[in-house]
Amino acid sequence: MRPFDPVSEIKTLRDASGKAVKGLRLRTTQERVFLAGAETVKLSIEAFDDNNKAVPLTVTQSSAQTIPDTATPITVIAANVPFSDDGTGPDALAGDGKYTARLSPQAQGFANHAGTIRLLAQVSANGEQGVAHFDVVYSPTVPATWLGVRESIEAGSLNFYLKAQVQTAGRYVVSGRVYDANDKPFALLQFNDEVSAGQREFKLQLFGALVRDVNPAFPLKLVDVEGFLLRPDAFPDRSMLARRPGTVHTTGRYGIDQFSPAEWSSEERERYLVEYQRDVHNAGEQVRSLQNP
């Protein structure tokens, strides 16, 4: 429901050798794991004791560098990524004990690197020394760019067509959420198919029977759209499209009678039903053979 919430972790403070420091924990957050092109990621560190009380923290040193993802040697790229708690740059509030940094791979020397970038931060919490680390997976290029959205009622379903300029052909996976007029989420829509290069549309279908079952308040909103190009047998295994947080498209108003109550049908569903029927038949044959040896 909230694909763009930061990734938050609470970990025991560990020193450089990996040994746990008793009574101290770090809470780290990062906006995202996968980045592409000019995208950046905001990172933060806080320290707490076992009673969840904040303890003084300083970040003494922090830097990012490339990490090999295979046995193939790579050129190591490194860059300083400063954390601060002074209310400037990515830091929201000065002196609140939360140290914040922003990693910008394209601008910090990683523009030609595809793979993992690890950021290590040397920290001091209540006088105890430790290390926090963050991993991101970066792709230098963006495989497609968004252009716009159109909607259409077709065969009793509401289809959203997300327009894009596709630079790299391949299998794309695109997801979006649908909220009703009262901001109640009720549908997850997905596109998963091969796409050729050029100006294309990703079809997200809101199935008619679902609309009739839920009877949501119109207009509906398509929100928090995300997408990527799959890269089979490669690392990273995907190249991200730009995130589209918040409301991406608001629909018109439709009557419930404009949506079809028909049951879902697809090639995949029919194929599964055939397999299930075959399983039932085979199981029945086995039971009968045991009853009549």
Tell me if the bond preceding 236 is cis, omega within 30° of 0: yes
Count of domains for the chain: 2
158 part of a folded domain:
yes
Nearest to 126 by CA among 10, 43, 9, 13: 13
Same domain, 131 and 153: no
Instruction: Answer yes or no: is pLDDT of 18 > 90.
Output: no
Q: Give yes or no for a contact between 17 and 5, defined as CB atoms under 8 angstroms apart.
A: no
Nearest to 248 by CA among 227, 262, 263: 227
245 part of a folded domain:
yes
Domain boundary among 139, 173, 206: 139
Backbone angles phi, psi at 52, to 5 degrees: 65, 25
180 part of a folded domain:
yes
Nearest to 160 by CA among 98, 221, 115: 221
Query: 215-233 burial string, b = 16+ CB within 10 Å, else e?
Result: ebebebbbbbbbbbbebee
3-state secondary structure of 228: strand
Same domain, 174 and 246: yes
β-pair partners for 63: 80, 120
2 part of a folded domain:
no
129 part of a folded domain:
yes
Same domain, 132 and 16: yes
Same domain, 87 and 161: no
pLDDT score for 234 = 86
Same domain, 43 and 154: no
The one-letter amino acid code at 258 reads Q
Same domain, 123 and 25: yes
Same domain, 11 and 126: yes
3-state secondary structure of 167: coil
Domain boundary among 70, 105, 139: 139
Same domain, 193 and 228: yes
Same domain, 229 and 153: yes
Instruction: Quick: pLDDT tens for 187-237.
Output: 999 999 999 999 999 999 999 999 999 999 999 999 999 999 999 988 889
278 part of a folded domain:
no
pLDDT score for 149 = 97
Instruction: Quick: pLDDT tens for 169-186.
Output: 999 999 999 999 999 999
Same domain, 135 and 151: no
Instruction: Answer yes or no: is pLDDT of 72 > 80.
Output: no
176 part of a folded domain:
yes
What's the per-residue H, E or C state across 21-77?
EEEEEEEEEECCCEEECCCCEEEEEEEEECCCCECCEEEEEEEEEEECCCCCCCCCC
Same domain, 55 and 69: yes
216 part of a folded domain:
yes
Check which CATH number belongs to the domain holding 161 and give it. 2.60.40.10
d(CA 204, CA 157): 10
Check which CATH number belongs to the domain holding 88 and give it. 2.60.40.1930
Instruction: Answer yes or no: is pLDDT of 71 > 70.
Output: no
Q: Per the structure block, which two tokens stand in for 71?
A: 């046995």
Same domain, 220 and 198: yes
Percent of the chain past pLDDT 70, that is, above it, reads 100
Nearest to 229 by CA among 176, 168, 147: 168
Query: What is the span of the domain harbouring residue 232?
Result: 144-258
Nearest to 242 by CA among 147, 151, 170, 168: 147
Instruction: Quick: pLDDT tens for 226-266.
Output: 999 999 988 889 999 999 999 999 999 999 999 999 998 88
Instruction: Quick: pLDDT tens for 147-166.
Output: 999 999 999 999 999 999 99
Domain boundary among 139, 157, 192: 139
